[in-house]
């Protein structure tokens, strides 16, 4: 097991998937693999055409705080994602939202969202497939439980790994890994810092969802709840 290191800084980053072909439908990738430089160029071209060229995108993810701070970016990403979802996927979501027996739907049920963990300025865990903002609630529950045993936080298939334990109530241990199959790093973080970062991350999510929810409700004909309402 790695030796735990006292983290100088910690940031919980809500992120949102941004695909060039979603933002700019004519920007479909050609057959074969693109180099990182080619992918970045296609992404920049797509963002420029959509009028949000100053948005920073890392891989296929944009920081949600950058999205909400850039006028019009939320609307462009949400509308484009809905427009480019497969027809059967749109039908399934709309049908489920209209089903009275289904009580709750969240923004990250329709859009691909996740949580990145940045320690000392470097991303130490990155969301994978099927990631969502539920990780924030799970992390809050684990912190509140104050349990000494390790509790794992779901942040997506084949993405990073995140867990927390609180053998020291005031200084929980986070274990992070940017690949599920890699060896984790251990970080000591004060409870106060972790609580502050959780609230800061939720504030960003709330701001994004305040814009996204009216669009989702209008396009899907249902009712979407904010992620913070999850029990």
Q: Which domain holds residue 78?
A: 5-220
Least Cα distance to 212 among 81, 93, 23, 87 occurs for 81
Q: Between the CA of residue 180 and those of 45, 117, 125, what are the distances in Å?
A: 32, 14, 9
Q: Between the CA of residue 61 and those of 40, 99, 134, 224, what are the distances in Å?
A: 12, 31, 17, 23
Number of domains in the chain: 1
Helix segments in 99-220, DSSP class H: 107-110, 134-145, 191-220
pTM of the model: 0.85
Confidence class for position 3, pLDDT limits 50, 70, 90: confident
Q: Between the CA of residue 15 and those of 155, 186, 202, 205, what are the distances in Å?
A: 11, 23, 12, 9
Domain assignment present for residue 80? The answer is: yes
Domain assignment present for residue 71? The answer is: yes
pLDDT single digits (tens) 199-220 = 999 999 999 999 999 998 888 7
The whole-number pLDDT of residue 100 equals: 46
88 vs 80 pLDDT, higher one: 80
Percent of the chain residues past pLDDT 70, beyond the cut: 85
Is residue 88 over pLDDT 50? no
pLDDT single digits (tens) 162-179 = 888 876 778 888 999 887
28 vs 107 pLDDT, higher one: 107
pLDDT single digits (tens) 113-123 = 999 999 999 99
220 vs 189 pLDDT, higher one: 189
Domain assignment present for residue 41? The answer is: yes
Domain assignment present for residue 155? The answer is: yes
Domain assignment present for residue 229? The answer is: no
73 vs 87 pLDDT, higher one: 73
- Write down the mean pLDDT value for the chain: 83
Confidence class for position 105, pLDDT limits 50, 70, 90: confident
Domain assignment present for residue 226? The answer is: no
């Amino acid at each position: 097991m790695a030796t735990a290191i006292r983290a100088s800084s910690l940031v919980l980053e809500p992120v949102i998937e941004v695909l060039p072909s979603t933002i700019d439908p004519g920007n479909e990738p050609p057959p074969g693999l693109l180099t990182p430089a080619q992918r970045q160029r296609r992404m920049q071209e797509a963002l420029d055409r959509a009028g949000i060229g100053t948005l920073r995108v890392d891989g296929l993810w944009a920081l949600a705080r950058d999205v909400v701070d850039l006028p019009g970016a939320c609307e462009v990403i949400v509308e484009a994602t809905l427009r480019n979802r497969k027809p059967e996927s749109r039908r399934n979501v709309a049908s489920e939202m209209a089903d009275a027996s289904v009580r709750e739907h969240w923004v990250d049920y329709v859009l691909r969202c996740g949580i990145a963990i940045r320690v000392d300025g470097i991303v130490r865990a990155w969301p994978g497939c099927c990631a969502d903002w539920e990780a924030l609630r799970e992390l809050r529950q684990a912190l509140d439980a104050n349990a000494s045993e390790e509790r794992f936080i779901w942040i997506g298939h084949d993405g990073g790994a995140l867990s927390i334990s609180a053998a020291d109530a005031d200084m929980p241990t986070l274990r992070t890994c940017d690949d599920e199959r890699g060896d984790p790093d251990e970080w000591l973080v004060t409870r106060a810092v972790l609580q502050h970062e959780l609230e800061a991350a939720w504030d960003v999510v709330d701001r994004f969802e305040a814009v996204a929810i009216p669009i989702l409700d209008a396009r899907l004909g249902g009712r979407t709840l904010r992620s913070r309402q999850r029990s």
